[in-house]
Structure formats: C-alpha cells, structure tokens
Chain A
C-alpha cells in the first residue's frame, strides 16, 4: 500500500479455518501498513477478525489456519516462512501484549526469571547481565521497587502490575513493533489510563511502533494516530484518528460511535442502536457484509461488494453510500 519504508506491510491478508461446519473466512483481504514509531488502532467487535490478523502478524496461528496474501515485516515475508525464521521474528521484531495478564504469565515462576528467559532467548547476555537488564525493564515499565518485585510471583501483583510485567517481557527482545491485543480490557479505567500512558511513553522513548487492537473506539480515539475499523473480516474504514471521528464515512463506524454511552448524554436517554448480528463468516454473500444491518443500504449494496479505497486524502472506506458524502461523489 505505501512505500518501502513501512515497518509492517500487510496486503490482501486472508485467513481461513476449516471447522466441522465448513470453512470459516476469518480474515478476508486485509491490507494496511505501519510506519516505524506509529500508533495504529484496529477496532472491531468480537469475530471481526482483528485478533486473527494480529496472530498472523506474530506467526502464531495454528497449523489448521490457511493464510494467503502477504505480511512483510522489517523486510521479511512472514506468510509461508518456516518456524525457525518465525522464532527470530517473534519477540525480536514484533512482540505481543495479550489481554489477560493473569493468563499470560506462568503462575509457578517468579516474574524475574520469566523476563530473563525472554531476554536470553533474544540477546547474547549472560545470567548476571540478563538479571540487570530485567530489573532495568521493570523500572522502565514503572513497577515500584523492581529489585524486590523481581523475586515475586504473579499472584502477588495486582492486575495492572502484572500487565506491566507482561509489557516488560514483550520489550525484552527490543522489538520494533508492539502488538497490544486488548491489553487494557481486563483492567480498571484508572489502571487502563496508566497502562496506555506507559505504552505511549515507551513508544516515544524507544521508537517502537504500536498496533493496539481493541473493541473500544473511545480508547482508540484517545491514543491512536490512525484507526482501522474491521467488520466481518474486512477493513471497512481507515483514516487518521481526527479525520475518522470528525468525518465518519462508513455507516458501521457511525453506528459504533453512536452506541457508546457518553458522559455528555442525559440520563435515561436511549442509545441509537442497529439491529441484527454480524454475518456468518462461513458463507460468503455478494454485496457489502454490513448491508443487512445498515440503515442506509440500497439495492446496489446487496449486489456488489464495495472495496476499501482511498476516497479522500488519507481516508479509506469501503462503502457505496458513505454518510453525508453522497452529493460529493
């Protein structure tokens, strides 16, 4: 999509799973790129394919998944490359922060060794150096008294502190891209703000790119530079954050935005909702996948599938009848 400077360049990524119900098309042609140091948010409901895309970028999909298209990361093609190459890639180029910090740490291991393990996987350091580096990482993620915490078990830490440890592990291989998959969803609002601030600060200090995957549009609005909205395995809208929220094109994005309860709203005011459910990904229907739920859908929406195209400078959308733009077209 963009020039050769991109750190991550995903084009026409397709992922299908075979299940007993048939073939599930989890990701259906996703393209985007991330520049070094950029913050991109991928937004979507459960089942929209955002996590599967992230797993593909990490090379973490199970063998049963069929991946096609291209994921070029730091000049290396990941689709179809071997396990050995993926090992060099994971943690070193792209590292991931998972949703539940309780489950991504080993409960029977002190947190220190969990970090030094990751460090020594990637960097040629001896035990003492790795220990030193681990404490440094813990300090970097602002865990109080890191020397002492090094010897504690995950259950001795709060959820926010555990997520800091997970981030420290992700940073152990000095990756160029950090993937945060719902990294703050399991946390409280105040902790969420702290962790997001930490991620952005680290990004500025280290020049790491950040891809945050979330269902929370408001979180993306507050922290990301660019937002991709996914629906039913496709990117349906992509724009710089300010542009996206100020000038929504895709009716799905608009529906998402309106459905969020806001502090400015009066109590007991009903939220504008759309009916229906996301489509079944095992059958491919002609036309826009959002058409059955879309209030603006017309006949052509049900017949031909709109492609994601750049309609305005820096604003891509896949819609035949974008909100408020009908006249301009």
Chain B
C-alpha cells in the first residue's frame, strides 16, 4: 500500500499541505495522477505495464458536477477508482478537502472515505443479492457506528423515501425483486446514507432504459439541489453529461484532452476529439442522415499498452501534423476556465494564445495521416 508518512488526524480541515489552493470551496484536487496496471503473462511473469491513467490533473469544487467523458479504455473508471484509493494511484496527489489521500495511512483513510461514495454502473452486481434493501442501505451506518439501532432504521427509511422508494413496501425486498431503476435507487441511497460530500458515479444510468434513465438523472439533479452534493459523473454519452454537469473533462487513452465549462465545450469544442465525439451523437430530431460521421473520426483506438508518441489522438486526428508525433501536447489554460491539450486547437480563442498558424477547420479530413 502507500508509504505511511506520519500524518495529522484525518479530520478534513487541515489545509496545510495545499499551498496553492485558493478558496475553501475546492473539494477535490487531483494532481498529476498516474495509475498503472502490471500485466501478467502465462505463469505470472511480468508482461508489460499498462498506463491506464497518465498524468491527469483536475479539480472539483463544492456543489459542482464534473462530467468525465471518454470511450471504453480511456481510463475514466480507473480514474474514479484511483480517487477513492481503490487501489491508490502509482504517482500523483489526490487532495480531498486539504488532505492528500495517497499519503494517508490506511486507518485514517476510512474516516475520509465516508465523505466519498461511489455509485456503480450495474446495480445488481453492486448490491448483495442475499440482503434486504434496508440492510444494504443501513450497512454503511453500521460500519461507521452511526446512531442507535432505531436512529439507523429511521435514517434508512428517510433515505429510501428521498430516492423515491416507499420504505414499507421496498425495505424488506431483496435486490432480485427490484427493477433496474429501483435497484439503482437503492445503490444511490446507500451512497447517500453517510451524507457524503462527493459522489463518484461510474456510468450510473448506462444499463437502464430510456424512461428509467431520465428518472434517475432527475433524481441526481434533485439530490444535488437539495443536499448540495458534488458529483464526479462518468459517462460515455455526451448529451447525458451535458445534462448533469457544470464542467466537463474529455478523456482519451488515459489523458485529458479538454476541460472546461459545459456550455463552452458544447458550443465551441477546442480539441478535435471533442468535436468528433460531438459529431457522433445521434440526434432524435427529424433526421438529416448523418452519413458523413465516419469521415470525422476513423480507425480504432490504439492499444493503451503501446500508445502513440506525442499526442495520443494523432493517429485518428484529421489535423495531425509532424509536431503532434514529436511532442506531447500539455493541458494548458486558455482563460474562461478552459483547458486544452492540443497543438492545433480548433478555435481562434485557442490559437491566439497558441501562436501557431491557423489551420483550416476540420471536417472532411484535410490531408491527415489517417488510418
């Protein structure tokens, strides 16, 4: 586990080691986070190192929802797990309310973790099938010895009520007697029962039907408004991320491409990958057949075991140039809270500070080293 450096008690008030932190509303700050997995070949020999998350930095403010978008294998789930230290990241800092969780002793971590909860994609695999709904929701209270038995029961009932499940009717049921949407509500109630400050949602509605999905998304929205929660909301669906987020971070192959306020990213994407993602969203509007979609983004995502040199998106990028292969673009701030990691970003706003010759706008693959 992590090297146990002597750390002051984990009461999350110590602002000592966060020198650069501005106001007190900064809830979570992730700095240069790297997470690696060692792959094993047959017989357990070391097969290689997969860097699932590679030097990622971002922050979440109190009451804010940060959406993280990316394809399968982009490292977004690994990122969430690294934040809750399961397992702790290889390098970097995860500063939650002024405490660096990576360097926190295991015991102290427990008291921090009650403020950090997670909601997973598939409610049925994240709920114990042999436990009743009430027991599932009560478990965190028991683990942290909160309240008396009666107080716990009251708290559980109140929470089931909050997520829209009648306690008298659903409390005694087992997960198998619930629909997908109801099971996900139970998972949300369990995450909320300790009154956390930040909830990490890893594709929380992807396995649900459209109508149920809308109900659960509205529930997240209601809880945010009523309880002042912050979310780290991971999804692959851009439209959904727009619906719940204040700011959005776009991930590709373990790196952040672009971070910024949600409206700005959707109206004026700066990274070619963001634009490609936006262009692939099927729209429920009366159809204008989007047949040119494949021309924007082509090819398969490269293997994270052997990522391309320089910019990781360059093998699929219509704007890729020599510089992109030679130099890793760093995530740089552009004002208005926007950050982009691209040598040739898409708009004038970015180019002004990039001091590079403007390129023709993409769409239609201008002379790219495509697939």
Contact = CB atoms under 8 A, between A and B. Distances in A.
Interface of A: 45-46, 144, 158-161, 188-194, 197, 200, 215-219, 221-223, 241-242, 245-246, 255-257, 259-263, 265, 267-275, 277
B369 to A, nearest CB: 15
Nearest to B278: A263
Contacts of A193: 280, 282, 290, 293-294, 297
Given A200-B291, A222-B290, A192 B209 contact: no
A204 to B, nearest CB: 11
Given A268-B244, A271-B243, A218 B282 contact: yes
Contacts of A241: 286-287
Given A45-B211, A241-B287, A263-B238, 19 more contacts: A45-B210, A158-B300, A188-B71, A189-B236, A189-B277, A193-B280, A194-B293, A221-B283, A223-B282, A242-B286, A261-B237, A262-B283, A263-B239, A263-B242, A268-B221, A268-B224, A270-B218, A272-B214, A273-B215
A188 B293 CA distance: 14
A267 B243 contact: yes
B244 A159 contact: no
Nearest to B288: A222
Given A223-B289, A256-B211, A263 B237 contact: no
A265 B280 CA distance: 17
Given A45-B209, A158-B300, A261-B243, A190 B280 contact: yes
Contact of A261 (B71, B209, B239, B371): B239
A217 B179 CA distance: 22
B213 interface: yes
Interface in B39-76: 71-72
A245 B245 contact: no
A192 B290 CA distance: 13
A44 to B, nearest CB: 9
B205 to A, nearest CB: 10
A-B pairs, top 5 by smallest CB distance, nearest first, are A259-B214, A261-B243, A218-B282, A188-B71, A271-B214
B326 to A, nearest CB: 25
14 contacts: A45-B210, A45-B211, A190-B280, A193-B280, A216-B282, A217-B210, A218-B281, A218-B283, A223-B282, A241-B286, A262-B239, A263-B278, A267-B262, A273-B215
Given A193-B280, A273-B218, A159 B286 contact: no
Interface of B: 71-72, 179-180, 209-211, 213-215, 217-218, 221, 224, 236-240, 242-246, 262-263, 266, 276-278, 280-287, 289-291, 293-294, 297-298, 300-301, 371
A222 B236 contact: no
Nearest to A258: B214
B54 to A, nearest CB: 19
Given A188-B71, A277-B179, A267 B246 contact: yes
A262 B241 CA distance: 10
B269 to A, nearest CB: 11
Contact of B294 (A188, A197, A245): A197
Contacts of A191: 71, 300
A267 B282 contact: no
A261 B240 contact: yes
A197 B293 contact: yes
Contacts of B179: 277
Given A161-B300, A189-B237, A261-B237, A271 B217 contact: yes
B301 A259 contact: no
Given A190-B276, A263-B278, A267-B243, A273 B211 contact: yes
Nearest to B224: A268
A265 B209 CA distance: 20
B285 A245 contact: yes
Contacts of B217: 261, 271
A242 B287 contact: yes
A218 to B, nearest CB: 4
Given A222-B287, A245-B284, A267 B245 contact: yes
B281 A263 contact: yes
A275 B218 CA distance: 12
A222 B242 contact: no
Nearest to B70: A188
